[in-house]
Amino acid sequence: MNVIELVDNMSEEMYLRLKHAAETGKWPEGTPVEQAQRDSAMQLSMAYQARKLDSDQMLTIGSDGEIVHKSKAELKQQFKKSSVARQDSTDASKTSDNIARFTDL
């Protein structure tokens, strides 16, 4: 089985385990990962991101197999959009019933 077939048949749970091992040097249950295992886990995680995840997040692997890089202006624009969307959703959920009230101590 080659790497492409392996990644195509990999479950999301396995991807998350491999990603955790590559990031921390330990398996999720706490067993240490050898350097060769960590290198393989990193390669498989990157291949999974490229093949299955459609992410445009900074420093992830894009569908073209390249690391996603963004300029400072692009990141500012992205964060501005997400903060505006978050602000709109919190404004909509605020009503007079949701105000915290404190008594004098």
Mean pLDDT across the chain, nearest whole number? 78
Strand partners for 32? 26
Taking Cα atoms as reference points, which of 52, 55, 39, 37 lies closest to residue 6?
Answer: 52
Q: Where are the domains of the chain?
A: 3-92
Structure tokens at 105: 């101590």
pLDDT tens figures, 36-65: 999 999 889 888 888 877 666 655 666 676
Q: Which parts of the chain sit beneath pLDDT 70?
A: 54-63, 65, 68, 84-105
